[in-house]
Structure 1
């Protein structure tokens, strides 16, 4: 209820609207949670010169796993091939033999005869890459091995055989639909992966498969009788199209009917209304989805201008039409073909995928009767009606009402036309509803009208919804307020209500400012929601954040902003720390950040989900002295782990003499005998390659590389340790040290004692700390499939966060990185791919980066369970690839 304690009745859900019982021409849109006009099937306008498709236009077609298309040519005398990426077809079979020309006096005595043309009927490609074509004059089939190559193999039938259509079957099998010449019924054949005929359940049939019925030479008539009786499925129909299903059953198209045939079963027709199509069905194709035989069946009629989709239930018993719109551009009529995860049609010699163009069409008028409004008060004056809806241009909603104190009076009351609703400029009257935004669709918002003469305990409303066929109103919610809070009765003297006519007009007139003032009072009464980050409008989030002295990022989403404001105390407490910086980075770039980031139980203290493998990382530079950065996930520093000689390393307790001996032995091992014993220099020589390797491999402590620029750091270190030159002289055993400014970097390594210890601590601790303690690197996860814009946006967000949240004295680098250890992209030393991961994709010129995929796509080819004699090895030798 509102600030005046005026309640309202709400219609929101599908059950509230009750369209099945009281609606006409309207339906519930579950995706948009709204009431709309009934959606209708869009019909492609029939062109004036449109020619209906004929059965002879339907010829076999199929696509192999390489993307090549095969189909029977126009004259049914050859097989045409459209290679992947090309638009023009070439002859695939029969192979054209060029005429032989005589060479000198040598020429063939009799020219080779030209191949006799044969009529072809039906074509399919099996799962294991066999192209099968029907030849009625053979009679039989031609088998082309697309994987192994070679000439076609003839599979002869021992009796009359006229295949009209084929379809792949599960397990590399094949379905063949046969119209025997002169016979009243058709026959259905099931071939296995070896192209042997299987028993389909006929009476007295021998066990399947028939061993002597295959590509090899066949016996004569005795086998024919068995096959005719036991392996062909006769029924009193002559379907023209067969389509295989995943459960090894088939769909058959016969006239205007679609039937499903199981093995060992009778054909069962679907409740398929061909009237949904403009003409008789011309061809069908099935696209499986989910378990069982669930999927979508596509059908095209003889007009050939669009395809229609039907949903097949998982049990294969129900076929439900959908309202998707699949136009067919210049459909040539060869048929619909399923290939992979899509269905294709032929446009000339090109094969295009069916795409839902989403061109909805709606009815032009509908209505709904809303009842059940009971105020429980006699003579109740119903106040106003508010409708959350979207009314595009060309659509409208009109309202009629009637009221009565009893159901009998309500039924006898006449319907009254109410004023046309108007769109509120300030949005919904509910104080917690979001304010209207500029990008909302035209006509969307809260529509309001003041009920004029609805007086009585019970109320009924009748809404008439109209559209223009292309657009529909969308009704999301309806609210009816009652009883009217009357300014006339509450605030004006009784003299203004003496005349009933003028009082009615004044009461309705004052209802206009009452609506404005009540909405303001409601917002005042619910002002506390503006101080709760969970309920405040997104527009007020920057204002709420300013109370805590922070400014929100302009490109953050509202949910990310709410999470940030809600956890500001924790972020302030962790500000300037590694954990706080990681929290802010994840809050800025995680796809779906949640309160789990701030889980105090996390071991690392930086968020409940921060220990995941592919998250931002901070590599502090001082940690990379002994551990290479690549081991911490930084791919830009490739100085990884290495082999070193076994044995004890030098420590300062051994003295300088032991270090000199190791240095001399190291040089002898690398360069041979030296002219004089070498002494280890504390500063790197002009050619520091050997010096650096020795420091890395022979010392048990870190040894930073000092230079002339570090003399001031050396003096500051000594000053902080000894305070006065006299103390330094006494510790080092020197008599002439008058000022720290006179001390230079040592030219020779001190032999032992405090002077050696001071130098070693300076190069191993002080110098390393000064150079690296204030630096760190932020590694930002990126994915190979991310676009340049996504990567730039992610790095920019991290840059802004680090600039604000880092400690003031620190410096940083920001680098992207791949996942350091992920299936398919694990790094073992060098980049070693364990399995096919995200980089195994085709590189597109001008869009992708090198080294993020293959330069060209390798055919999916090499069917793993297909071996070719003479080419593939059954058991390859070790170290050799098959």
Structure 2
């Protein structure tokens, strides 16, 4: 029986082409959920007291030579400059306002003492820190900016041009900016001040010295994104009356909506948004905090804090109330078959208690005409409005001409099955997607809402195109999540495998087909599983849990320290590695697979010095290639094993000599021969024989070193010795050997070709020049070098 095909709908790119009604796309992984309620709070806060109390905060990192935490400085318009002591649970301490360091001259005999001391600087209304660590203080009366060093020493004073009532100052990684009503004053670092007009007076301004993002909060609520080329304005979804604005990432912001009065225990709601050029601000998650006094909100590390009267409090995660109903309508799924009988539909979803997912379908053999096509509505958390349908848009259109169009066929109650039960080889463990930081640590924990697959039989009439309308129902605190949709086509029939007699009568054939359909579902799934059995023998396609079983056929036992990619590669090349086990190519490839980087094996005999000289020519040359005897003849051995053997032999001979000195006779009476080679040439050859070095282009780690050592011991010739050379081991500067490398695709130890001639180590290209060595104090002149 032939297997049906599938039309898939999954991932953010496909979901964005659908029509959303009170639903949104949640990230990581992309899934459709009910959208947060966009209603006004029960008690809308008056923004005037919040804006009057607002100041600013800056996190000044501690110098590298001091073991102290970063300091949080707060600019309070009423109390001046404050510092947070004792961390987030500490208290605010007043700091003296910065002054310039002025050297006062010594009073002379005719100098007059000033009658009044200089006036104290005004209390700052905002504070910011730039990427260089400097602190910027904004004064409103008179309008000026004071630039301070990290130790709060006054470095410079600036007056933004035309500033009458500056409100806020921020610093990004490319500029400093100040708001003044409906004007934005921007000074690129190293440049001059410029003025940009805003559509309305700014409510809040935000930037971060680590990122290039500069944003302005406007009434509406709207968000203006400022770049060196200009500004773009987007609407802010899922929020109504924001006051606070904070940059928490390169493309992430946080907006706060207060409730009640400053300092009240009423919870203040914060919403984080992701910024994209195409969709604008997209809601990510919600947070909350109580007791906020409205003076400042700042980011410190991975946390966001809000100032309180006693200190600071960290924001906590808080899911906003969501809509209780919503739906998403898909674009046309094309079977490319005229009058195609669509079969079944599968929905991968997470359904908490009290939530439901229902499905409606619609089919047709033609698409709606272009003039009457309805543009899809964006997700509720996306500010981009619905755009008219482009005639050149390659995506299929919606099936409905109006949002509430009738004529859809409901599927009724959907069957609940295991996660991805229709897939022949589903993942071993599928649970509800979670971004909990300890999810990987507690991998054995059971998710409260496990992922399931909903199955339904498509009852719509045959047609080439299929549209789906998924309706979600939940509560204010829980929402179902739809991750993927799969529709199978055309409908397989067991009647096709029966003799033609059973299809002769159309009426009887339809009744027979319906009766056989009771068994078609599980027979189709069994056939699908049989068709993918061959994948179990392919290391590239086999599921991770089948790799150990597949390796048993090749007599391979995996080290538990190897990751999945290395195991698949070892299985793919197992036969090739077995054929070359114990050889240089086989061992090189094995080490390269285990380390994940190219490896080079340098055999010791290839490092043996050439003992050749040019004698009898016009100018006899005795260069560095000449060696008379062994360099260590008669000396200590460089091999640790030989040194240990030589020490044992010396100890044995000493004991035998002591026995003879005492008048005894050692047994056996004859002395054992010297265990090492005495011939200098033999010692020279043996020092490089049966040894090799593995050069790894990886940094050394204890686990990787242990894995490679075990692999080399199990696969190298038993009589050989080896050593590992890691990339981070450094270079040898005191000798002539700087390093080993490979030039091009051919290893440098293989002979090169010049035309048809093979160039080996005994070939010389050109005439050798005498080596000239200089000592300290030698003069470099014509007499010394012998060259003009």
CA gap 1:397/1:335 in 2 versus in 1, 3 angstroms: same
Partner of 1:794: 704
Partner of 2:552: 546
Q: Distance in 1 between matches of 2:28 and 2:194?
A: 44
Partner of 1:299: 255
Q: Distance in 1 between matches of 2:534 and 2:507?
A: 43
Q: Distance in 2 between matches of 1:95 and 1:114?
A: 16
Does residue 480 (structure 1) correspond to residue 488 (structure 2)? The answer is yes
Cα deviation, residue 122, structure 1 = 1.7
Partner of 2:446: none
Cα deviation, residue 161, structure 1 = 6.5
- Partner of 2:540: helix, strand, or coil? coil
Structure with greater helix percent: 1
Q: 517, 527, 541: which one pairs with 1:511?
A: 517
Q: 26, 31, 37: which one pairs with 2:33?
A: 37
Greater CA radius of gyration, 1 or 2?
1
What pairs with 1:144-163 in structure 2 (closer than 5 Å)? 145-146=148-149, 163=166
Partner of 1:175: 178
What pairs with 1:330-729 in structure 2 (closer than 5 Å)? 330-337=291-298, 345-347=306-308, 364-368=325-329, 382=341, 384-394=343-353, 395-400=355-360, 417-418=410-411, 420-424=413-417, 428-429=421-422, 433-441=424-432, 443-444=450-451, 446-450=453-457, 462-468=468-474, 470-487=478-495, 490=498, 507-525=513-531, 527-554=533-560, 556-590=562-596, 609-610=598-599, 651=628, 707=646, 709-710=648-649
Runs of 5+ consecutive residues of structure 2 not aligned to the other structure? 63-69, 100-112, 260-266, 369-398, 433-448, 610-622, 654-667, 736-788
- Partner of 1:580: helix, strand, or coil? helix
Partner of 2:50: 54
Runs of 5+ consecutive residues of structure 1 not aligned to the other structure? 97-109, 178-184, 202-232, 290-294, 591-596, 598-608, 612-617, 627-645, 660-679, 683-690, 697-701, 715-739, 748-755, 784-790, 831-882
Cα deviation, residue 571, structure 1 = 0.8
Deviations 1:298-327 (A, max 9, x none): 43233372334456677xx99534333343
TM-score for the superposition, normalised by structure 1: 0.54
Deviations 1:80-99 (A, max 9, x none): 12369684443321599xxx
Deviations 1:435-464 (A, max 9, x none): 45245446546543445x656567866544
Structure with greater strand percent: 2
Partner of 2:656: none
Greater displacement, 527-536 / 341-350: 341-350
CA contact (8 A) 1:79 1:92 kept: yes
TM-score for the superposition, normalised by structure 2: 0.59
Q: Distance in 2 between matches of 1:533 and 1:93?
A: 69
What pairs with 1:29-178 in structure 2 (closer than 5 Å)? 32=29, 36-40=32-36, 54-66=50-62, 67-73=70-76, 76-82=78-84, 87-94=90-97, 120-125=123-128, 127=130, 131-133=135-137, 139=142, 141=144, 143=146, 145-146=148-149, 163-168=166-171, 175=178, 177=180
What pairs with 1:116-265 in structure 2 (closer than 5 Å)? 120-125=123-128, 127=130, 131-133=135-137, 139=142, 141=144, 143=146, 145-146=148-149, 163-168=166-171, 175=178, 177=180, 239=202, 241-242=204-205
Q: Distance in 2 between matches of 1:538 and 1:22?
A: 37
Q: Distance in 2 between matches of 1:77 and 1:652?
A: 87
CA contact (8 A) 2:203 2:243 kept: no
**Greater relative contact order structure (CA < 8 Å, 6+ sep):** 2
Cα deviation, residue 56, structure 1 = 2.6
Matched residue count:
622
CA contact (8 A) 1:68 1:84 kept: no
CA contact (8 A) 1:14 1:28 kept: no
